[in-house]
Structure 1
């Protein structure tokens, strides 16, 4: 019997993952590359760094686009009246000229006969009207000019992803902010609580959750021409493995949850398998947080294995105070007796099988 137990132990029995001693063997102190840290009040205070979404100051400080400003790509309609019968531009018998569909080029300029090349981008239609009037005044007496925007596709924003109506939308007076543009696209097509909005502007990008957009007015940024607005489902999650009631990848969304809540979300600890002294939270900790947790200068991202012992007098309180982050792995080891139970079951099962075969042989 003893020989059979040793043989089975050497061969290895099925299990959900490493035991506590095997995890401890990977600690830095034993030549490994992970810091194994027992969770205490100091750790809960220093490790509860919760990175959040948000826009940089460059996004927040950008001013609203003037709804009347002319931009490259706009199409203008210009009408010119002259106080003479045979003017510069008007045909014989007419004192007015209609210049339709003049497009502002990529440099922001337009060409008007006898007025020459004029900078249109950045001016309002009224400002451009005054510029053309001044240019023509030296060649025809008291010209009267009107300028109107025929089409304004120069200042647009692309809205894509989980919205009701994807498309390219012009920045107009009612749609100069992020929330207004999302409303123009019909709103989000998923539950707002799990929606994340990314705004890409040139080489920079900012991200915000829908609840943060509602509750923090500073996040309702002004949009700029060429912005790309992407709405997608929040991908933040943690993974639960080991002696749980269930093993799965669990979405976090915009929620802030503790270790005890994470355990409850996957059905709690398995009463027949779990070791309550071996609850591990595995994560890659940024340099700034690792330095505070370890109490010494640390350089670069560190692998951390936080240990929660739920049997300690304050174990449940510490688990309640320790926050779970995006990308965490929550792993629960099996109780030591489980392997012995499996071994004995395998041995007694093998012995019973051998007896049955022997009986059949007889």
Structure 2
């Protein structure tokens, strides 16, 4: 029996030694993984982002946000028409074009006239369509060019032709609905319309009104016109405010009224990691954070709010105070919400379409994750001898 007890104590001693060795190995492994950054985490640390600066080993400019940077980057995307569109004059409302339909009434002062027979005194030709070459055919007057004429000018031409064959003819010319000059207006996802260019629809705004073009969100809606292979866009709300943007239209113009997918991406220690659509043309960094549920109360580092953006050369040059930049630059703007004016800076700093807002984890959160991994590994290592013994 003594030998059995001694043997049992020896087995327990060996098992305990194994436990300590295995626990130590597990702790060393977890600590090693934590030091190497292999443990699961939401993204790069603040130090790793700073390492991406051009001053170190990266290719991005890391800039701390202040009042000067906020002013330099407060650039709302500008959209406007160029001279090609702005300089185009309004087309005469009465100008006849190929595809238009002309109505003629001819009055004659004889009982049996050329066109008016049976004592009617007048003959009606209600639908004469202007062909693709711009001509119409009038009996006894022949083929007459109508395109480019006003109804009054066309009336005089037809009267002169008929006057050679009937005494003192009186001619009435009217334009009626036809498939002449028109523009197409498209609302992606909501249909399209073809609007004829008439007296009331010679410019952009009346044509949109005639088509019922009311965007779902006027704040972010754009109006794009394509003419002769050239496309230009304006913001819908600016079109309503600026009379100069109510440009003259041309036959064949293609107009698209749409809300483009303006958005930013939120990542890191925020309430949600997602892509967020703009409700307005721009939003502030503070509003962007609020839209994704704010900073995570258990993991976020309020000193490490980063905004990643490809900045246009003129803006980047002004932010960095440099004149040697070429092309768009990768910029990382840093917001520290714990500074005395940090919240004001975040409120004033504009987020633009395509930006990425990334919030780093607090060092405490990383430390807690390592400790949790250590305690979990230690527990598993402690129970391993029992598992082996039971096997």
Structure 1 residues 303 and 165: alpha-carbon distance in aligned structure 2, compared to 1, 3 A threshold: closer
Contact 2:219 2:281 in 1 (8 A): no
C-alpha spacing 1:302/1:287, structure 2 compared with 1 (3 Å): same
Could you say which residue in structure 2 is the equivalent of 1:45?
71
Could you tell me how far 1:259 is from its partner in structure 2? 1.4
Conservation of the 8 A alpha-carbon contact between 1:163 and 1:231: no
Distance 1:43 1:89 in 2: 80
Q: Kindly indicate whether residue 351 of structure 2 is the aligned counterpart of residue 324 of structure 1.
A: yes
Distance 2:313 2:218 in 1: 33
Partner Cα distance (1:7, 1:332) in 2: 23
Corresponding residue number in structure 1 for 2:207: 181
Provide the C-alpha distance between the structure 2 equivalents of 1:254 and 1:245, rounded to a whole number of angstroms.
Answer: 21
Stretches of structure 2 lacking an aligned partner (at least 5 in a row): 1-26
3-state SS of 1:317 partner = helix
Match of 1:240 in 2: 266
1:356 counterpart residue number:
383
Deviations 1:161-215 (A, max 9, x none): 2587632222333333433333333343634445433333332333334433333
Quote the Cα distance in structure 2 between the aligned partners of 1:261 and 1:93: 81
Q: Which residue of 2 aligns with 1:157?
A: 183
Most deviating of 106-115 and 319-328: 106-115
Whether contact under 8 Å (2:30, 2:377) holds in the other structure is no
Q: Judging changes above 3 Å, is the alpha-carbon distance between structure 1 residues 197 and 10 closer, same or farther for their aligned structure 2 residues? A: same
Which 10-residue stretch deviates more, 87-96 or 1-10?
87-96
The alpha-carbon distance between structure 1 residues 313 and 191, as it changes in their structure 2 partners (threshold 3 A), is: closer
- Asked whether the equivalents of residues 16 and 243 of structure 1 are also in contact (C-alpha less than 8 Å), the reply is yes
RMSD over equivalenced CA pairs, Å: 2.9
In 2: Cα distance, 1:109 partner to 1:290 partner: 59
- How far does the alpha carbon of each residue in 1:11-48 deviate from its partner, in whole angstroms, 9 at most, with x for none? 71111211122222222223432111222222122122
Equivalent pairs counted in the alignment come to: 362
Question: Where does residue 374 of structure 2 map in the other structure?
Answer: 347
**Partner of 1:34 in structure 2?**
60
Distance in 1 of aligned mates of 2:322 and 2:34: 44
Counting only pairs closer than 5 Å after superposition, residues 84-233 of structure 1 correspond to structure 2 as: 98-112=124-138, 115-138=141-164, 140-161=166-187, 166-188=192-214, 190-233=216-259
* Gap regions ≥5 residues in structure 1: none
TM (normalized to structure 1)?
Answer: 0.87
**Structure 2 partner of 1:283:** 309
- Tell me, yes or no, if structure 1 residue 299 matches structure 2 residue 307: no
Q: Which moved more, 1:152-161 or 1:187-196?
A: 187-196
Q: Which moved more, 1:23-32 or 1:160-169?
A: 160-169
On the 8 A contact 1:188/1:195 being kept in 2, the answer is no
Deviation at 1:95, TM superposition (A): 7.0
1:338 aligns to what? 365
Summarize the Cα distance change of 1:5–1:164 in structure 2 as closer, same or farther, 3 Å threshold: closer
Does structure 1 conserve the Cα–Cα contact (< 8 Å) formed by 2:90 and 2:202?
A: yes
Q: Distance in 2 between the 1:11 and 1:23 partners? A: 14
Q: Structure 2 length as normaliser, TM-score?
A: 0.81
